[in-house]
Amino acid sequence: MTMKSRVLTAVVIAALTPGAAFADPPSNRGPHSFFAKPDGTAEQRSADLQRCKEIVSKADGADIPPVDEPGRGDFVGPAIAQGGLAGAGAALILVGIFAAVDDAKATRRGQDLCMYNLGYRVIPMTKAEIATYAKVPLGKQRQWERDYLPPDTAERLAPLLKPAVPRLPPYEPEAPFVDGGVKIADLTLVSPEIHDKGFVVKGTATRRRTATLVTPIETKDGDIRLAADAGTVFQEVDYRMGKEPMLRKDGSTWCATVKQMAAGNVAKDFFCFTGRDSGYEITQPSGYPWLAGPYDRGLILPVYTQPIQLEERKQDDLGPMDLELKVVKIENSGVYIACDVRYKSEAMRMWLRRIPFEKDVAVLPLWDSKLTLTRMAAGKQADKSARQSDKLLKAELTHDGDGKSWRAGEEARTLFEH
């Protein structure tokens, strides 16, 4: 099976069997279940749900959790095993149908994630409760749902609050000069003038946090299995791009080079582990082993349900990487800036973003600094063709930033392209 078909299979199965290998936050809440949290009241739940509805209504579409979540598992389900999907064409049609249905449920998914982050879990109703609910007059069902908290709620809630495995070391609070998996330092201006495109700011990057594996791990499920010895170095990454904290999934992600075993063959490859209530999601990231990127279109393996223990290191032995900000394209209405990271002979593009001109000035925030790109006189000519043929920018790096990161403003595309 090719990488593309393997991922496609995972998406199809996710649509067919919601939550099959991804149990948190709840994505399959139905009409016969209810939210509950320790010591919560019906009144508090109503207020929190209203708060989550407002958060979701104001959120960017990119903040709403998608349907094709990593971690649902890569396996063949009953529909495919019984010939229910005849080839890739039928699979794509099915994916399209379920994607359309899921888009209609985007608001519900966002609300569920928000409630999960507020400490709520979804409790399925019993058959007796469902029967009772069915007898409630239609006009009173909403009130019944709003007030329903059975006496044994705490008892039924307890097992849902116990993760199957210990979480990996959690994310730290957001901090200046920290982005994704790196810490940034020593930003300096390279060229005060850019003609068409060029290298404008340089700096250094170090990996955000690293840790070593305390006890060996070895997965048992699926055609592809992974193993790692004690002492294996893991690096933390954070590519949760959601601007709204209540719509970010909990559970940190740590990545390492491990042994990959399949069909009697053994090779080293790079994988990431994300702690969830149900176990550790395993995905193959983009990027390089020295700096992992977000999941793109690599393998998705079954959830690992044995404990992983990491011991954080005080200092990373990888050493600094070179950081480069480049002007890659100048348009009449804006300028495109890219961020590249280099380590030894390898280079990777972390992100690309467009900064609009406002009165011939484009500003990239850099926490306590900012990069200001001003279109010079040669680019202000009335003749449009002359403007396009003579794209000239004055570059200034000043230490009067407003604390915003280099992702503030129009969305940056996270790339991690080689």
Alpha-carbon distance 276 to 304, whole Å?
10
In Å, what is the CA distance from 261 to each residue of 7, 226, 330?
A: 18, 6, 47
In Å, what is the CA distance from 370 to each residue of 48, 199, 279?
A: 38, 16, 41
Give the pLDDT score at 12: 29
Position 107 confidence tier, pLDDT thresholds 50, 70, 90? confident
- State whether residue 206 is helix, strand or coil: strand
Does this model's pTM top 0.95?
A: no
CA dihedral 172, 176, 177, 180 (to 10 degrees): 40
The angle formed by the CA atoms of residues 3, 5 and 10, to the nearest 5 degrees, is 95
Give the pLDDT score at 102: 55
Alpha-carbon distance 103 to 317, whole Å?
45
Q: How many CB atoms lie within 10 A of CB 268?
A: 9
Q: How many CB atoms lie within 10 A of CB 99?
A: 14
**Residue 54: pLDDT over 70:** yes
How much is the average pLDDT of 383-406?
Answer: 79
Q: Which 3-state string (H, E, C) describes 81-103? A: HCCCCCHHHHHHHHHHHHHHHHH
Q: For residue 202, how many C-alpha atoms fall within 13 Å in the half-sphere facing its CB? A: 9
Give the pLDDT score at 25: 58
Lowest mean pLDDT, pick from 27-36, 107-116, 186-195, 369-378:
27-36
Q: What percent of the chain has pLDDT over 90?
A: 67
- State whether residue 120 is helix, strand or coil: coil
Give the pLDDT score at 103: 54
**Residue 121: pLDDT over 80:** yes
Alpha-carbon distance 31 to 137, whole Å?
15
As given in the structure block, the two tokens for residue 318 are 């990888």
Count of all residues that appear for the chain in the document: 418
- State whether residue 147 is helix, strand or coil: helix
Give the pLDDT score at 37: 96
How much is the average pLDDT of 70-80?
Answer: 34
Give the pLDDT score at 393: 96
When the pLDDT of each residue in the chain is averaged and rounded to a whole number, the result is 83
Position 204 confidence tier, pLDDT thresholds 50, 70, 90? very high
How much is the average pLDDT of 350-364?
Answer: 94
Whose structure tokens read 């210990």? 166
Show Cβ contacts of residue 94 under 8 Å, excluding neighbours closer than 6 positions: 12, 15, 85
| Beta strands across the sheet bearing 361-366 | 193-195, 392-398, 369-375, 361-366
Give the pLDDT score at 240: 80
* Domain positions in the chain: 3-161, 178-207+320-417, 210-312
- Exposed, middle or buried by CB within 10 Å (0-12, 13-18, 19+), for 269? middle
Q: What percent of the chain has pLDDT over 70?
A: 79
- State whether residue 247 is helix, strand or coil: helix
Taking each continuous run of H as one helix and of E as one strand, the counts in the chain are 9, 22
Q: Which of 267, 258, 264, 259 is nearest to 223 (CA)?
A: 264
Give the pLDDT score at 59: 86
User: Tens digits of per-residue pLDDT, 135-190?
Assistant: 999 999 999 999 999 999 999 999 999 999 999 999 998 899 999 899 999 999 99
Give the pLDDT score at 276: 93
